[in-house]
Chain A
Amino acid sequence: MDSGARELPVGLLTLQGDYAKHEAAFRALGCATRGVRRPGELEGLRCLVIPGGESTTMTRLIDRVGLRGPLRDFAAQRPVMGTCAGLIMLAAGLADEAPEHGVRPLGLLDCTVRRNGYGTQVDSFDAAVEVDGLPGAGGPFPAVFIRAPRIVRTGPGVEVLARHGGEPVAVRQGHLLGLTFHPELTDDLRLHRAFLDLC
């Protein structure tokens, strides 16, 4: 990546979800952020984060405001990180998904995910996961899984960075990073820093 991009703000998809938590994480790392709700707002960003939230809601809003094509074009050029619902939006496809729920991923990261893969909120959990290539020391990452998706297939170009119970929970394909959990809900900034290293 060109070094000039490092001066640009980090973009946050602010249609719905916990984007304020990501904003706080990047601010703690000394980065400016900018919200994106319209196609033109993708101009001049260093990278983009699709936050946690509801993928049904995000799908509808992305399509209503005409962001589907622009988001795909952006991801071809610049790094994108998706956490939980954000990973669902990045995925190539969904497993066992009723079409009437109307979730349509962007088809960018070559993996298949199952939404609400562990169950409802009473099945949400925390786990310490070993993540490959995290900057600095600090041991396993405190991962928070909330109505989390499960990654049931990864394509040949996809690198698995972390597993839980043998299944991938953090994946990378070039400058695209997908997590089934929520680093933004903890005070551990290592994954946000690792993402910035891709930009």
Chain B
Amino acid sequence: MQTFWTDPLRGEDFGRKVGLAEMLKGGVIMDVTNAEQAVIAQEAGAVAVMALERIPSDIRKSGGIARMSQPAMIRDIQKVVSIPVMAKVRIGHFVEAQILEALGVDFIDESEVLTPADNVNHVIKHPFKVPFVCGCRNLGEALRRISEGAAMIRTKGEAGSGDVVEAVRHMREVLGDIAQLTTLKDNRKALEARAIEMRAPVELVAWVANNGKLPVPNFAAGGIATPADAAMMMQLGAETVFVGSGIFASDDPGPRAKAIVDAVTFHDDPKKLLEVSMNLGEPMRGRAVNEMAEGEKMAGRGW
């Protein structure tokens, strides 16, 4: 049986890249800015950490150009944890990606949270040994990233907002687009038209129409701040959640991190969700996305 990711055209190592994404399912990936936070995240049960200099809510506040983190800071984090360490590159910045690969990070996030380095192109990800995750707002964006070699897709949401509304919108868009596509699976002409609309390869569009899912894991990110947010994304169909600012911009990072891990494992059990939501301190204050100016939003970055 030829599955999408064993297609030899996509590189013999694409299966291993997607394989690591499979291992991270049913878990929480946490943003950390130093070794001490990385230890807290691992202790709480994170399946991976995202090493970055400033959490997205602080990037919002401080402005300026947000770039790949200092390699020495990422290395300090690699030294203290045994779970996978991810790090971010600017959209299109293939040299930042080369540097992170040389550093031996386990996953690269080509992320809209950083200031884009290319206004037209994303990184061509297939030639790298290290797998990539990319954000999306809809199915077309997801398929364009997968065709470039992304081994994991996540919603963009609105990073650093603490507001889950955009992550919900993006997950529903992707799953709705997939459901709609499955109704066209025997109509080659319609699939070709959708492929043109979505600027995505027709064989990838046809694969999704036939299988009713993305060919790589589909995770949620952007604005998740509470155990209930995390469980909601899982119930909507996310296979793992990223929590960025939501943990270390809150009053009680350790207990909150642990509660979010438990909420993902027991996302379909309201009694358990009640139990883990008890006695947490204040969540991050956040900013409502609906009150942001368009220019403040990060989700629009990416092509």
Which residues in A have some Cβ–Cβ distance to B below 8 Å?
14-21, 37, 52-54, 56-57, 60-61, 64, 84-85, 98, 100-103, 115-116, 119-122, 124-126, 144, 146-147, 182, 185, 187
Residues of chain B touching chain A, judged by Cβ–Cβ distance below 8 Å, are 1, 3, 6, 12-13, 15-16, 19-20, 22-27, 39, 42-48, 78, 80-85, 101, 104-107, 129-131, 261-262, 265-266
Instruction: Say whether B82 contacts A115, CB under 8 Å.
Output: yes
Q: What residues on A are CB-neighbors of B262 within 8 Å?
A: 61, 64
Residue in A37, A100, A122, A185 whose CB lies within 8 Å of B19: A185
Q: How long is the Cα–Cα vector from A103 to B83 in the complex, in angstroms?
A: 11
Closest to A187 in B: B1
Which of B12, B22, B24, B44 has the most chain A CB atoms closer than 10 A to its own CB? B22
A98 neighbours in B (Cβ, 8 Å): 82
Contact B15 A144, beta carbon cutoff 8 Å: yes
Please tell me if the beta carbons of B47 and A54 are within 8 angstroms of each other in the complex. Answer: yes
> B28's closest neighbor in chain A, by CB?
A57
Cβ-neighbour of B106 out of A84, A121, A187 (below 8 A): A121
C-alpha spacing A119/B261, complex, angstroms? 26
In the complex, what residues of B have CB within 8 A of residue A124's CB? Answer: 16, 19-20
For this complex, 15 residue pairs linking A to B, each with C-beta atoms less than 8 Å apart, are A16-B27, A17-B25, A19-B26, A54-B24, A64-B262, A101-B81, A101-B82, A103-B82, A120-B78, A120-B104, A120-B106, A121-B105, A126-B12, A126-B15, A187-B6
Instruction: Give A83 Cβ to nearest chain B Cβ, in Å.
Output: 10
Q: A57-B46, A120-B106 are in contact. List 8 more A-B contacts (CB 8 A).
A: A16-B27, A100-B39, A100-B80, A121-B20, A124-B19, A126-B12, A126-B13, A126-B16
- Name A's interface SS: loop
Partner of B265, one of A61, A100, A103, A126: A61
- Contact of B23 with A15 in the complex, beta carbons under 8 Å: no
A187 to B107, CA, bound (A): 25
- B265 & A185 in contact (Cβ 8 Å cutoff): no
User: Which of B26, B44, B106, B131 contacts A15, CB < 8 Å?
Assistant: B26
- What are the residues of chain A within 8 A of B39 when measuring CB–CB? 100
Residue of B with least CB distance to A185: B19
Contacts of B6 in A (CB 8 A): 187
- Kindly list chain A residues whose C-beta atoms are within 8 Å of the C-beta of B107: 121
A120 to B78 alpha-carbon distance, docked (Å): 10
Query: In the complex, what residues of B have CB within 8 A of residue A57's CB?
Result: 27, 45-47, 83, 261
Using Cβ atoms and an 8 Å threshold, which residues of chain B touch A17? 23, 25-27
Judge whether A37 and B265 touch: CB under 8 Å: yes
Q: How many Å lie between the Cα of A144 and that of B256 in the bound state? A: 35
Collect the chain A residues with CB atoms within 8 Å of residue B12's CB. Answer: 126
Q: Is the CB of A122 within 8 A of B23?
A: no
A122 touches B45 (CB 8 A): no
> Are B15 and A60 neighbours in the complex by a CB distance under 8 Å?
no
Question: Known contacts A54-B27, A101-B81; is A122 also within 8 Å of B101 by CB?
Answer: yes
Q: Once the chains bind, are A56 and B42 in contact (CB under 8 Å)?
A: yes
> Cα distance A146–B83 when bound, in Å?
13
State how many angstroms separate the Cβ of B214 from the closest Cβ of chain A: 14
- Kindly state the separation between the CA atoms of A61 and B46 in the bound complex, as whole angstroms: 11
Nearest residue in A to B26 (C-beta to C-beta)?
A16
Contact B20 A56 (CB under 8 A): no
CB nearest neighbor in A for B130: A122
In the complex, how many angstroms separate the beta carbon of A184 from the nearest chain B beta carbon?
8
| Contact in complex: A121, B131 (CB < 8 Å) | yes
Closest to B82 in A: A101
Find the A residue at minimum CB distance from B47.
A54
With both chains docked as a complex, state the minimum distance between the C-beta of A24 and any C-beta of chain B, in angstroms.
11
Q: How far is the CA of A53 from the CA of B266 in the complex (A)?
A: 17
Contact (A18, B22) CB under 8 Å given A121-B106, A126-B16: yes
CA distance A53 to B240 in the complex (A): 12
* Shortest Cβ distance from A21 into B: residue: B22
Q: When A16-B47, A19-B26, A121-B106 are in contact, do A147 and B20 touch as well, CB less than 8 Å?
A: yes
Chain B residues with CB under 8 A of A37:
265-266
Which residue among B19, B46, B101 has the maximum number of chain A CB atoms within 10 Å of its CB? Answer: B19
- Contact present for B16 and A144 (CB under 8 Å): yes
Given A120-B106, A147-B106, are A18 and B23 also a contact pair (CB < 8 Å)? yes
The answer, among A56, A120, A147, for a CB contact under 8 Å with B105, is A120
Chain A residues near B101 (CB-CB < 8 A): 122
Q: Which 7 A-B pairs have the closest CB atoms?
A: A121-B106, A18-B22, A60-B45, A16-B26, A120-B104, A54-B47, A101-B82
Q: How far is the CA of A147 from the CA of B84 in the complex (A)?
A: 9
Q: Identify the closest chain B residue to A53 (Cβ).
A: B23
